[in-house]
């Protein structure tokens, strides 16, 4: 299969930007959305400031915008990973108790998180990096357990090793099935029956996806090319 390219909206070369652009299409006006550290934070760059979406970060920001232009950074306005962000009109600063009250209370419409592994059950492992000292899983366990919809945004493999596996070998973030996995190669939906391949990425094929995926994928006849058009106004 070939990928569909959009002349008016060219596909980016950077795999992370491909993922971020595709995830942006899942977001609707009026949503309260948490963006995780790293790749997920790029999603905000693919939505206009007037999209009617409020991005939240655990450190106490609601109404987080895209990264500011160079020289316009404000050291008091960052995401949970310490990266500089902007604020959209109507944004608010809140304390950690309110921030985690929103997360644990089930008030987040969506969270977008990075991943180290996802398995055939749709379970996510995203906090224990082998061989590295880390302080703990942070807010990830709360986000996976509390958000209404969990999207995993990650590069399909790690140095050639599959990250979508039969069973996670790294510690789980939570025992809850995520709703969607978006990589530069594929869009995969975890279901009761298993992992269903929904879309193939630009420049790839179903055969290449299967070769790069250790877990079993359910492949139907309705697979579509990944739509990377900018989200339409809602």
| Catalytic residue numbers, as ranges | 58
**DSSP character at residue 44:** G
Measured CA to CA, the distance from residue 104 to residue 81 in angstroms comes to 20
Measured CA to CA, the distance from residue 115 to residue 96 in angstroms comes to 24
Residue 43, SS3 per DSSP: helix
Residue 207, SS3 per DSSP: helix
Beta strands 54-57 and 117-119 are unpaired
Q: 194: which residues sit within 8 A by CB, 6+ positions away?
A: 120, 216, 217, 218
User: What length does the chain have?
Assistant: 234
């Amino acid at each position: 299969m070939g990928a569909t390219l959009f002349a008016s909206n060219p596909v980016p070369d950077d795999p992370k930007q491909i993922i971020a652009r595709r995830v942006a299409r899942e977001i609707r006006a009026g949503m309260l959305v948490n963006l995780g550290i790293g790749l997920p934070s790029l999603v905000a760059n693919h939505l206009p400031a007037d999209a009617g979406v409020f991005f939240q970060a655990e450190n106490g920001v609601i109404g987080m915008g895209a990264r500011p232009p160079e020289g316009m950074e404000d050291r008091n306005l960052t995401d949970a990973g310490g990266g500089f962000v902007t604020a959209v009109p109507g944004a608010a600063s809140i304390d950690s108790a309110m921030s985690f009250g929103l997360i644990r209370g089930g008030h987040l419409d969506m969270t977008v998180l990075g991943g180290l592994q996802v398995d055939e059950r749709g379970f996510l492992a995203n906090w224990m990096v082998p061989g590295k000292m880390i302080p703990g899983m942070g807010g990830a366990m709360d986000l996976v357990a509390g958000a209404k919809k969990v999207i995993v945004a990650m590069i399909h493999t790690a140095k050639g090793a599959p990250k979508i596996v039969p069973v996670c070998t790294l510690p789980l973030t939570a025992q809850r099935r995520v709703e969607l996995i978006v990589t530069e190669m594929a869009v995969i939906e975890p279901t009761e029956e298993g992992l269903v391949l929904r879309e193939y990425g630009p420049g790839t094929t179903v055969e290449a996806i299967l070769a790069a995926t250790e877990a079993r994928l359910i492949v139907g006849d309705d697979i579509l090319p990944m739509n990377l058009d900018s989200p339409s106004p809602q």
